[in-house]
């Protein structure tokens, strides 16, 4: 069953979640599908289809129960549990990720950062320590870390991925512009920063406005 | 016609382009659809469908002409012309974007960065000057800049977007976790860093491996 879930719908879930949390914080208890669609400039049919993958449905005339829908999305994505992650690369991108508050809302806490640069190792990023890269494998095993974030230059990425996998990491979020070769049991998601720019360029070329199928 | 182009296909084009450029640099002249699919772990039917949106087709038994396909993707995305962009926000994320070499391959050159912080204004990022934010509007008009990148905190994003639009910017790549309100003629693409992490989380939850529909 999970294989039939369309990944573009999965990609849109964080955007819904963000809106739903805002509405819940504002004291609202239910939300209509058309209200979600209106706020995000999306097609209501698409919204209903996207949200259906979480197993939570709306009721006629009332809409979705906000608390139920938020819990449904969080549970579908596994964002209700906090995962600790190791970050490799304490450069500008790594620092930006540590400072990115929305990661914590997604249940991801960066526990430590690693870098080969001794100057960076002397620093902290916010509350996060920067440790020598050679310590990553042993610490990942000891702390039972399963998520790794790669924010190193392309040439170093494969080596870092192998250190992570040796340390027991099974899910890698890869920001390096380098395709990784990993064993089949390891899950890799490439951040592909350019895919968003491709959509922007295409819409600019063709002057398309609504973003029905992000 | 352009409205019928599926945006998930557009999103995947940069990944194809990167592979095709590597093969062309290695001296190859043609590439089969199945070879592209194999290298990227994708379904060949999907690859053929994605590439068809550029108007370039392959020939039986030979495959795609590499130079033709590269030119076709670049032209479809408008990446054959270099656009100059203004960057608002010279923090870690802004610096990471300036240092991101793939942007230039996508025909995007960051011409200037802007920040409200006087300490950052005294700095340069690589070759890029950091100027006071209040100069953005006038300079955008004078330099005929049409692309803006927002890498400021959420609370400042709407104000920055309005400055950009007043300056004649019509396409905004928004990295701030804040939905922007813009006139209908302005194109906004939200970077949605979390959408990739949503897919990773979902695959980790359900242990799905191939990424047929990124």
Summarised one tens digit per residue, pLDDT across range A104-155 is: 888 899 999 999 999 998 888 888 999 999 999 999 999 999 999 999 998 9
What are the DSSP calls for B45-83, one per residue?
Answer: HHHHHHHHTTT---BTTTBEEHHHHHHHHHHHHTTTSPE
Gap from B138 CA to chain A (nearest CA, Å):
22
Span B201-214, average pLDDT: 64
Give percent above pLDDT 90 in chain A. Answer: 58
Suggest the residue from B6, B191, B201 to mutate for an interface test with chain A (most A CBs closer than 10 A).
B201
Q: How far apart are CA A3 and CA A6, in angstroms?
A: 8
The token pair that represents A211 in the structure block: 């973003």
Which chain A residue has the Cα nearest residue B107?
Answer: A201
Query: Using the beta-carbon criterion (under 8 Å), do B194 and A5 form an inter-chain contact?
Result: no
With contacts defined as CB-CB under 8 Å, which chain A residues touch B207? 187
**In this predicted structure, what is the pLDDT of residue B17?**
93
Tokens 């998520």 -> residue: A147
**In this predicted structure, what is the pLDDT of residue A40?**
84
CA dihedral B174, B202, B5, A15 (to 10 degrees): -40
**In this predicted structure, what is the pLDDT of residue A1?**
40
Q: Please, where are the H alpha helices in chain A?
A: 7-25, 33-40, 44-52, 66-77, 92-98, 101-105, 118-121, 136-143, 154-166, 193-206
- Least confident window among A52-56, B1-5, B84-88: B1-5
Q: How far apart are CA A58 and CA B13, in angstroms?
A: 36
Q: How far apart are CA A68 and CA A75, in angstroms?
A: 10
Mind listing the pLDDT tens digit for each residue in B42-82? 889 999 999 999 999 999 889 999 999 999 999 998 888 77
Span B15-31, average pLDDT: 93
**In this predicted structure, what is the pLDDT of residue A213?**
43
Which chain B residue has the Cα nearest residue A170?
Answer: B204
Which chain A residue has the Cα nearest residue B185?
Answer: A209
Query: Using the beta-carbon criterion (under 8 Å), do A197 and B173 form an inter-chain contact?
Result: yes
**In this predicted structure, what is the pLDDT of residue A81?**
78
Query: Using the beta-carbon criterion (under 8 Å), do A2 and B206 form an inter-chain contact?
Result: yes
Query: Using the beta-carbon criterion (under 8 Å), do B173 and A196 form an inter-chain contact?
Result: yes
**In this predicted structure, what is the pLDDT of residue B208?**
58
Gap from A193 CA to chain B (nearest CA, Å):
8
Whether B213 shows a pLDDT value over 50: the answer reads: no
Span B188-207, average pLDDT: 83
Asked if B163 and B133 touch (Cβ cutoff 8 Å), the reply is yes
**In this predicted structure, what is the pLDDT of residue A80?**
81
**CA nearest neighbour of A14 among B10, B197, B204, B205:** B197
Tokens 């194109």 -> residue: B187
Exposed e or buried b for every residue in B90-110, given b needs 16+ CB within 10 A?
A: bbbbbbbbbbbebbebbbbeb
Asked if A172 and A187 touch (Cβ cutoff 8 Å), the reply is yes
Mind listing the pLDDT tens digit for each residue in A141-173? 999 999 999 999 989 999 999 999 999 999 999
A40 or B36, which is more confident?
B36
Give the max Cα distance, chain A: 61
Query: Using the beta-carbon criterion (under 8 Å), do A102 and B8 form an inter-chain contact?
Result: no
Query: Using the beta-carbon criterion (under 8 Å), do A15 and B195 form an inter-chain contact?
Result: yes
Gap from B59 CA to chain A (nearest CA, Å):
26
**In this predicted structure, what is the pLDDT of residue A171?**
93
**In this predicted structure, what is the pLDDT of residue A141?**
95
Q: How far apart are CA B118 and CA B116, in angstroms?
A: 6
Q: How far apart are CA A2 and CA A53, in angstroms?
A: 9
With contacts defined as CB-CB under 8 Å, which chain B residues touch A14? 192, 194-195, 197-198
Whether A211 shows a pLDDT value over 60: the answer reads: no
Asked if A66 and A24 touch (Cβ cutoff 8 Å), the reply is yes
The token pair that represents A60 in the structure block: 């006629």
Q: How far apart are CA A22 and CA A40, in angstroms?
A: 13
Q: Is A200 exposed, middle or buried (0-12, 13-18, 19+ CB in 10 A)?
A: buried
The token pair that represents B102 in the structure block: 């793939």
Q: How far apart are CA B93 and CA B116, in angstroms?
A: 15
With contacts defined as CB-CB under 8 Å, which chain B residues touch A10? 198-199, 202
Query: Using the beta-carbon criterion (under 8 Å), do B79 and A6 form an inter-chain contact?
Result: no
Q: How far apart are CA A114 and CA B40, in angstroms?
A: 28
Whether A212 shows a pLDDT value over 60: the answer reads: no
Query: Using the beta-carbon criterion (under 8 Å), do A179 and B40 form an inter-chain contact?
Result: yes
Give percent above pLDDT 90 in chain B. Answer: 58
Whether B136 shows a pLDDT value over 50: the answer reads: yes
Query: Using the beta-carbon criterion (under 8 Å), do A202 and B173 form an inter-chain contact?
Result: no
Gap from A63 CA to chain B (nearest CA, Å):
23
With contacts defined as CB-CB under 8 Å, which chain A residues touch B147? 200, 204
**In this predicted structure, what is the pLDDT of residue B168?**
95
Q: Which of A96, A101, A173 lies nearest to residue B197, judging by beta carbons?
A: A173
**In this predicted structure, what is the pLDDT of residue A208?**
58
Which chain A residue has the Cα nearest residue B208?
Answer: A3
Whether A209 shows a pLDDT value over 70: the answer reads: no
């Amino acid at each position: 069953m999970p294989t039939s879930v369309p990944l573009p719908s999965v990609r849109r879930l964080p955007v819904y979640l963000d809106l739903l949390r805002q509405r819940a914080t504002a004291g609202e208890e239910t939300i209509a599908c058309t209200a979600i669609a209106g706020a995000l400039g999306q097609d209501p049919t698409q919204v209903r289809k996207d949200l259906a993958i979480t197993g939570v449905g709306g009721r006629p005339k009332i809409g979705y129960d906000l608390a139920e829908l938020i819990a449904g999305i969080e549970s579908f994505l596994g964002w209700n549990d906090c995962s600790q992650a190791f970050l490799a690369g304490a450069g500008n991108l790594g620092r930006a990720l540590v400072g990115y508050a929305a990661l914590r809302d997604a249940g991801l806490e960066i526990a430590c950062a690693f870098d080969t640069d001794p100057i960076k190792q002397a620093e902290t990023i916010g509350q996060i320590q920067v440790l020598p890269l050679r310590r990553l494998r042993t610490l990942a095993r000891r702390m039972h870390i399963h998520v790794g974030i790669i924010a190193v230059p392309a040439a170093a990425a494969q080596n870092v991925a192998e250190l992570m996998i040796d340390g027991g990491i099974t899910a890698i979020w890869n920001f390096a512009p380098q395709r990784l070769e990993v064993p089949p049991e390891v899950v890799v998601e490439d951040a592909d920063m350019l895919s968003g720019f491709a959509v922007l360029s295409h819409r600019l070329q063709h002057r398309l406005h609504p973003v029905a199928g992000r």
